[in-house]
Amino acid sequence: MNTTTVLPHLPAEGIFNKNTFRKAVHSIYPDCTEASINWMLVTLRKQGSLASAGAGKYYRIPLDAPAKKQYSYPHSPEYLDLEKEITKAYPLVNFQMWELIQMNDFVNHQIAKNVVIIEVEAMLVDTVYELLHMKYPYAMIQPTSDTFYKQRAPKTDIVVQKLLSEAPSPNGNHSCAIEKLLVDLLSKKLSGNLIERSEYPRIYEDVFRKYCIDETRMFRYAKRRHLYDYILSFIKTNTNVQLMTI
């Protein structure tokens, strides 16, 4: 089966659901199984021909549009060591991580001093913090912005904080989804005070230009953090990002 033959049978603009995709496939391959339909969806997304607009929703990416890919980042040795320690000690704990130097791919002024943010399910925040604090005495637990800047480590900063429920699932291992990072960067908590706000429009524009963004997932999490209206206004007022789902 040639996946690209399905594209002309899909809506050129707007969002369509999986049932529409299924009908398009069956119009060409009547005997196509559900497993093959799922494979075609995954393949077209990997090829950059389709993008997700939320659970079971998709849209076509124009042929002349710059190729986009799924976001990933080759994390630092410090990050990987921390991830390994937590996983080894508590293999069943639900946690996510990201590091500030990830943003160097998008900002004008490069970040020299790294910060590793570790977000853990609420009941185990203290437990994970105690584990890391024995080896990393400068590790901080849920610091305010003022506390963070007063107690910074000589090298990499380590912050342990609560993982909010309904946060987007990590794309691989424990690395935070890019949709979550975009929301967290505009929060009024610590994560929203680590980078100059003047850099934010460029970050959003570069991320949306280079990577496939699940807008539904991003705005669902924004609602959970009470940032939906703020982020929507920021994107429309301060960036050239063209949202597909709003």
Q: What are phi and psi of 210, to 5 degrees?
A: -95, -30
How large is the greatest C-alpha to C-alpha distance in the chain, in angstroms? 65
Spell out the domain ranges in the chain.
3-60, 77-238
Neighbours of 39 (CB within 10 A): 14
Q: At CA 205, angle to CA 203 and CA 207, rounded to 5? A: 65
Q: pLDDT tens string for the chain (246 positions)?
A: 778 888 989 988 888 999 999 999 999 999 999 999 999 998 888 887 888 877 788 888 877 666 678 899 999 999 999 999 999 999 999 999 999 999 999 999 999 999 999 999 999 999 999 999 999 999 999 999 999 999 999 999 999 999 998 899 997 789 999 999 999 999 988 999 999 999 999 999 999 999 988 888 899 999 999 999 999 999 999 999 988 776
For residue 51, the one-letter residue type is A
Alpha-carbon dihedral sign for residues 35, 37, 40, 42? negative
**CA dist., res. 8 & res. 3, Å (int):** 11
- Look up the pTM and report it: 0.81
**CA dist., res. 38 & res. 40, Å (int):** 5
**CA dist., res. 101 & res. 166, Å (int):** 25
**CA dist., res. 3 & res. 219, Å (int):** 30
Neighbours of 103 (CB within 10 A): 20
Class (C level, CATH) for 3-60: mainly alpha
Burial grade of 154 (CB within 10 A; 0-12, 13-18, 19 or more)? exposed
